[in-house]
Structure 1
Amino acid sequence: MSFLEKCFHLSEKGTTVKTEIVAGITTFLAMAYILGVNPMILADAGMDKNAVFMATALASAVACFLMGFLANYPVALSAGMGVNALFAYTVCGAMGYSWQAALAAVFVSGLVFVLISVTGIRKKIIDAIPVQLKLAIGAGIGFFIAFVGLKNCGLIIANASTFVGIGNLADPTVLLAVFGLIVTIVCVVRKIPAGVFVGLLLTALVGVVLGMMGMENMPAVTGVFTTSFEMNAAGAFVQGFGELFANPMNALVVIFSFLFVDFFDTAGTLVAVGNEIGLVNEKGELENAEQALLADSIGTCVGAALGTSTVTSFVESSSGVGVGGRTGLTAITTGVFFILSIFISPLVLGLITNAVTAPALIVVGVMMAQQMKNVKWDDITIAIPAFVTIISMILMYSISNGIAFGFISYVVVMLAAGRAKEIHPTVWVLMVIFLFYFASPYLSF
């Protein structure tokens, strides 16, 4: 107990070991859905679901331990929603990279994040990006992953006349997804703890009862371990560096996209949780921010090495804070449960299908899209780049393209408004990079 007191300053923070453990369990349950959703998303990039589950659980545990010991924050981490969609559907899908190359990009973005954290230049970067653009990007990613959920479960399908249309509502898979969506919405609206996870669990159980999935789909525990270690025995991400940097301009865009989404998602989560537990001072500065960002960035590197998409801080950590979590012991408890989850991996992997995960994707997308409320839509110089960002992500099925067009349109609008002096040099540089990114397929050097 004295060791825990010395490490986490429990008395100073006004908490106890019991409270912290309960908070850690609460946080784990609130974000446990990622163990089922992430393997399904990355499987669309060609990765093995068993291996992704193992990588997600282990990387989450390591990152939680780092956050607990380095920063003493009650913030848990795992493979981020939105950035995993960027990995599977934009980098590996639209851009055509292999999953090995995508892992290499994640690893490099993590290294850059480490550099940002240890050199203290994070504030300059945060200040350089227009706040309204950051809000639009976050909301756009929400719409994007909701669209992915609707598509994966068959509720939205391709249509030759209108590009997209409604799916077959008589299809049992679609009906199961609709049931799961209703249940998840009820759980979230009623503020049931870990509502998204509860909705996912109930949907899976109904699928089992209806005979849509069963024990025959479950891999053996040894199989989960074996495929994971086989995939990463030589460090799968190392194999992707050559492919990633074959086109330096595209590589730069991919790495920046991973870094951007991770960096601002983490910053937003840390500030939100920090405000709840009094870690933000009068100047608006976050205590131990560098240590927290360092833990997050190292977690990303570890995740890429193990074989999963970007590991980032989860806003679901606020559920643990809500029941009294105040220190890093909460995060460490969550990490322990991520390790324990490995032993029930066959159950999770056997019961989780697109119909089961779709409701979670849609509802989490709604939560992310709520950032739109803070966009100043009555200011046309803000509304245009915000709208372009969001609509581009959805209709072009690409988070990177949405970010790129958002920056380009922002510069165009500011120039048209005669406000060029307000454009930060960093934004100018990014706009030039994005222009070359779009032009490069048509240029011959």
Structure 2
Amino acid sequence: MGYTWQVALAAVFCSGILFILLSVFKIREWIINSIPMSLRTGISAGIGLFLALIALKNAGIVVDNPATLVSLGHITSLPATLAAVGFFITIALVHRGVKGAVMIAILAVTGLGLIFGDVQWGGIISTPPSIAPTFMQLDFSAVFEIGMISVVFAFLFVDLFDTAGTLVGVAQKADLIGKDGKIPRLNKALLADSTATSVGALLGTSNTTSYVESTAGVAAGGRTGLTAVVVGILFVLALFFSPLAGMIPAYATAGALFYVAILMMSGLVGIDWRDITEAAPVVVTCLLMPFTFSIAEGISLGFIAYAAIKALSGKGRDVSMSVWVMSAIFVIKYIVAA
């Protein structure tokens, strides 16, 4: 769009401030709690399919194809073979109840990559680079132009529903959702997420958001805030061990992501497949997340499908007012975007 990255950082900062306001006034909490239970299962499973696609892409097992959109990659290539080996090791170790199965598999595949010469030794310790070139480099001169306002709201929309989907999926997998269908202390999680976006922009990074890969930590047994604190400390240490951490190839984690995808898909067993008005929106949500490569788009199209199918099936009374409102907003968004 012809703007500098400094202006882009200012747009990220503004979207973070809007996130904070939406969290303080509990609008984000209202949106997340408005998601029907069936769609929550669909979101969790959709994130699983999304992770599976990322894993297959990172391993080179699935590649782009101009004729068919996607196709099978070089299945006998070293990255694809080692990714498959990592997946098999992970499943075998999990079945045997071995603690740290995911990490053992990742390290084993990285070691094999070193042996076969595909991974280059980069050292162990290095000094972290300075953040001075990006620290407080925000430029607000063009943020309030018409074109940039749309960018700010694009950041807002994507981050809002990416986070919503991730929180629902991870909380459901961790069995943290209450009997009333709500996530406990949800507003604190949303405030942490929105504050991180604004602080991240000040430091010089693009939107920060909760990662769907967090489900790997849940699968390993992490279910409390202490898990996140320990991970944060390890990330700080990783700044000094970046050569070592950087040696781990993308295909080494592909098996772990595929394993987590299996866990995320298991929730589909709870869907009432006999009620097509419940099952159809779930499938829409599941499939459109990976195929649009966006959690946010999967959620928004799932909302629209849920409201439309219920209304046309004579079950409009089953749809809450919040779902009607959100569906209308999503429809308007797509019309404006067109």
Q: What range is the shorter-chain TM-score in? A: 0.7 to 0.9
Distance 1:142 1:269, change over 3 A: closer
Equivalent position amino acid for 1:345 in 2: S
> Does the residue aligned with 1:158 lie in a helix, a strand or coil?
strand
Higher share of residues assigned helix: 1
> Does the residue aligned with 1:214 lie in a helix, a strand or coil?
coil
What residue number does 1:373 align with? 269
Residues 1:148 and 2:54 aligned together: yes
The more displaced of 411-420 and 121-130 is: 121-130
- Check the 8 A contact 1:136/1:390 in 2, yes or no: yes
Cα offset, 1:344, TM superposition? 1.0
* CA distance in 1 between partners of 2:104 and 2:62 (Å): 24
Residues 1:295 and 2:192 aligned together: yes
Equivalent position amino acid for 2:322 in 1: T
What residue number does 1:175 align with? 81
Residues 1:312 and 2:210 aligned together: yes
Structure 1, gaps ≥5 residues long: 1-96
- Check the 8 A contact 1:254/1:400 in 2, yes or no: no
What residue number does 1:411 align with? 307
* CA distance in 1 between partners of 2:292 and 2:150 (Å): 20
* CA distance in 2 between partners of 1:365 and 1:99 (Å): 35
* CA distance in 2 between partners of 1:354 and 1:143 (Å): 18
Residues 1:348 and 2:250 aligned together: no
- Percent of pairs with identical residues: 33
Equivalent of 2:163, from 248, 259, 262? 262
Equivalent position amino acid for 2:210 in 1: T
> Does the residue aligned with 1:310 lie in a helix, a strand or coil?
coil
Residues 1:390 and 2:286 aligned together: yes
Cα offset, 1:368, TM superposition? 2.6
The more displaced of 122-131 and 378-387 is: 122-131
Cα offset, 1:347, TM superposition? 0.9
Cα offset, 1:342, TM superposition? 1.9
Equivalent of 2:296, from 389, 400, 410? 400
- Check the 8 A contact 2:60/2:73 in 1, yes or no: yes
* CA distance in 2 between partners of 1:240 and 1:382 (Å): 48
**Number of aligned residue pairs:** 332
Distance 1:109 1:233, change over 3 A: closer
Cα offset, 1:184, TM superposition? 2.5
Distance 1:183 1:235, change over 3 A: farther
* CA distance in 2 between partners of 1:171 and 1:318 (Å): 29
What residue number does 1:193 align with? 99
- Check the 8 A contact 1:106/1:310 in 2, yes or no: no
- Check the 8 A contact 1:149/1:357 in 2, yes or no: yes
1:224-253: CA deviation from partner (whole Å, max 9, x where unpaired):
414x553x33447x6898499727667545
* CA distance in 2 between partners of 1:192 and 1:101 (Å): 49
1:42-88: CA deviation from partner (whole Å, max 9, x where unpaired):
xxxxxxxxxxxxxxxxxxxxxxxxxxxxxxxxxxxxxxxxxxxxxxx
Structure 2, gaps ≥5 residues long: none
